[in-house]
Amino acid sequence: MSIAEAENRILAEVYQKFPIVAVRGKGVLVWDSKGREYIDCMSGYGVAIVGHCHPKVVEAVKNQCEKLMVCHCSLYNDVRVEFLETLVKYTPKGLDKVFLSNSGAESIECAVKLAAKYTGRREFIAFTGSYHGKTLGALSLTWSLKYRKPFEHLLYPHVKFARYNDVEDFESKITDNTAAVIVEPVQGESGIHISSYEFIKCLRELTYRYGALLIVDEVQAGLGRTGRLWSHQHFNIDPDIMCIAKGIGGGIPLGVTVARSEIMNVLRIGEHSSTFSGNPVACAAAKAVLNVIVEENLAGNAERVGGKLRDMLQKVKSETPLIREVRGLGLMIGIEMKVNIYNILLETIRRGVIPLYSGINTIRLLPPLVINDDQVGRVAGVLGEVMKAYTVK
């Protein structure tokens, strides 16, 4: 039996699978079981943000594994403090109290509980196209009916969806009962959509006016991906709560909720917790990841190389009628197609580049932020070839 067959037989079949058995990774590259090399623009949905097996992250994890792998937050821990102090050095001013969990969805669950308890209110506003995860609380804030519909009867009923980037619709939905508004400054799952400056400014102004909290979901767009350490920094606002996950653990599961201390401090002992929270291996990895992002100026690289890649993709667009739009910020890039993209994705993989879906008709690229000029040239070259071959057919 092949590895693919064996996996499909036992693992829940809830993932759209691509025909690669990945066995090894280094930087921007991964290799399959037959030794074929790929440029990884999926990077585990943006998780390999500093590249696969970055030596500093590997070293931090190895060292910690030999020292201590288990330490519940009921006990203090040296590496946990080192990570927390590193983290709050880089979080926006005022966001300096942290809860640690194990995934993006969990970082959202914590934010929801914080907002509800802090404000004493129960209504939430999320946006069309939003994605915040698939646990019940996070799923309640997620737009896609495909994910929500089968579980509608379990979901939290006090969520209003306002139209994304529509100031008037938002104004009509916020009230004195709104606990919090949650937004991805750049939407990832629904096709890479960038918030307008006016829209994010309006969210901040009206949440202040109504006494509601503003939660920014930086799970996908954070950590330098868009060319700034935090994507909301493009909009010059101070959020009340920020959620981080995906790349922060360098591949070790880790979710982070950061809030103003007066908000985080409403939680009393036992009102929120998680067994794995503050795991020393995850903390060692995350400290190394943050240091690599800053020391190697990966946000700067994302801005520069990402801009270059988008320029090359615009050129591909001008040469084929298949592309509707190329958009993105930094190395968070969407190529919206006029045709079904499944076969295009398969052909791109066959030619050595692993892309990602976003929405139904958008090819998403989330390469590690260490990707260089040559490599983005190869990515654009392969996509250009695939589109041209597809057009001729």
Among 39, 60, 105, 116, binds ligand PLP (CB under 6 A): 105
Shortest separation between residue 45's beta carbon and ligand PLP, angstroms: 6
Phi and psi at 178, nearest 5°, equal: -75, 120
Token pair of 328 as six digits: 């993105």
Shortest separation between residue 133's beta carbon and ligand PLP, angstroms: 3
Name the one range near ligand PLP by CB under 6 A: 62-70, 125-133, 333-341, 372-380.
Answer: 125-133
Shortest separation between residue 1's beta carbon and ligand PLP, angstroms: 29
Sign of CA dihedral 305, 189, 240, 244: negative
Nearer to ligand PLP, 221 or 284 (CB): 221
**Coil/strand/helix, residue 34:** coil
Q: From CA 159, how far away is CA 82, in angstroms rounded?
A: 37
Size of the site for ligand PLP (CB under 6 A): 14
Q: Is 103 in the site for ligand PLP (CB under 6 A)?
A: yes
Among 132, 204, 225, 317, binds ligand PLP (CB under 6 A): 132
Looking only at residues 161 through 190 of this chain, which bind ligand PLP when binding is defined by CB under 6 A? 184, 188-189
Rounded alpha-carbon distances, angstroms, from residue 162 to 108, 150, 170, 374:
19, 22, 5, 41
Looking only at residues 324 through 363 of this chain, which bind ligand PLP when binding is defined by CB under 6 A? none
Looking only at residues 209 through 268 of this chain, which bind ligand PLP when binding is defined by CB under 6 A? 217, 219-220, 245-246
Sign of CA dihedral 68, 59, 287, 139: negative
Burial 162-176 (b: 16+ CB within 10 A, else e): bebbbbeebeebbee
Looking only at residues 58 through 97 of this chain, which bind ligand PLP when binding is defined by CB under 6 A? none
Nearer to ligand PLP, 217 or 240 (CB): 217
Spacing of C-alpha 234 from chain mean position: 16
Q: Is 159 in the site for ligand PLP (CB under 6 A)?
A: no
Among 27, 44, 51, 104, binds ligand PLP (CB under 6 A): 104
- Kindly give, in sequence order, each residue whose CB lies less than 8 Å from that of residue 208, ignoring residues fewer than 6 positions away: none
Q: Which helix (H) or strand (E) holds 23?
A: strand 22-26
Nearer to ligand PLP, 45 or 390 (CB): 45
| Interface ranges with ligand PLP (CB under 6 A) | 103-105, 131-133, 184, 188-189, 217, 219-220, 245-246
